C-alpha cells in the first residue's frame, strides 16, 4: 500500500521540480534585477512677468514691433505727435506702435516708458527692444526701436523724419542711456557683464 502511495508523491515532486526549473530559467533569461524608477523631475515653472513692467504677449509681437516701425520710415516729425497723420516724436512713435500691436497705451514720454519697461544690458538687445539716449542733458530724453544688426529706428527732430541710425554712430554711441525689453523671460534679465561693444562699438 505504501509503495502505491509513494509513486504519486514522487511524480508530484518531479513535476514541481520541473516547473521550478523552467521558472528559474525564464527569470535568468530576462534578468531579475529591477531598474530603479527614473527620478521625478520637478516641473518647470513658467516665467512670471514682473508686474511693475509692461510686457508684450509673446516674441511674435516683438517681431511685429520691427515690421511696424519699418512701415513708419519717412513719417514726418512733430513734437508731441502720436500718430503718422499728425507726425510723430520719439516716444509718440513707440507708443503708437505698441498700442497698435497690443492695445496697450504707453505713456507719451520717453523717461516714463523707460520706467515702465524692464531693463536689460545693451549686449542683450534683440529686435523689438527699446533703446534710450541722453540727448538733452537728462536721462532717457530720446528713444527708438532696436531692429537688429546694431541699428535702430527713431523719430529725431533733426532732419524731421523717422529714420534708421546705427548704435555705433559717434553721436548716439556717446549718448546711449540704456535698453529695455518688452519681452518677459529669465534669459533677458539685466546683466552688468553682458558685452555692449558689439552694439555701440566701444
Active site residue 142: yes
Say which of 90, 104, 108, 197 is annotated catalytic.
90
Active site residue 140: no
Rounded CA gap, 41 and 57, in Å?
Answer: 28
DSSP three-state, residue 130: strand
Active site residue 202: no
Report how far Cα 176 is from the mean position of its chain's Cα atoms: 23
Cβ contact 123:60 at 8 Å:
no
Cβ contact 143:117 at 8 Å:
no
CA nearest neighbour of 184 among 26, 49, 62:
49
Say which of 30, 104, 154, 202 is annotated catalytic.
154
Cβ contact 99:54 at 8 Å:
no
Say which of 104, 140, 142, 202 is annotated catalytic.
142
Cβ contact 56:183 at 8 Å:
yes
Q: Which residues are the active-site residues?
A: 90, 142, 154
Amino acid at each position: 500500500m505504501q509503495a502505491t502511495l509513494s509513486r504519486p508523491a514522487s511524480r508530484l515532486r518531479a513535476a514541481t521540480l520541473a516547473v521550478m526549473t523552467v521558472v528559474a530559467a525564464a527569470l535568468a533569461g530576462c534578468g531579475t534585477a529591477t531598474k530603479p524608477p527614473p527620478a521625478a523631475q520637478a516641473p518647470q515653472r513658467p516665467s512670471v512677468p514682473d508686474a511693475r513692467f509692461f510686457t508684450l504677449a509673446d516674441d511674435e509681437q516683438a517681431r511685429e514691433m520691427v515690421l511696424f516701425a519699418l512701415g513708419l520710415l519717412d513719417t514726418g516729425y512733430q513734437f508731441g505727435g502720436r500718430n503718422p497723420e499728425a507726425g510723430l516724436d520719439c516716444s509718440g512713435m513707440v507708443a503708437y506702435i505698441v498700442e497698435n500691436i497690443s492695445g496697450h497705451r504707453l505713456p507719451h514720454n520717453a523717461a516714463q516708458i523707460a520706467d515702465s519697461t524692464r531693463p536689460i544690458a545693451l549686449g542683450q538687445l534683440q529686435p523689438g527692444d527699446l533703446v534710450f539716449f541722453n540727448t538733452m542733458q537728462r536721462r532717457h530724453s530720446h528713444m527708438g526701436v532696436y531692429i537688429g544688426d546694431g541699428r535702430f529706428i527713431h523719430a529725431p527732430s533733426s532732419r524731421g523724419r523717422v529714420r534708421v541710425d546705427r548704435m555705433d554712430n559717434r553721436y548716439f554711441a556717446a549718448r546711449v542711456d540704456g535698453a529695455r525689453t518688452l519681452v518677459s523671460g529669465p534669459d533677458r534679465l539685466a546683466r552688468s557683464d553682458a558685452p555692449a561693444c558689439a552694439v555701440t562699438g566701444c
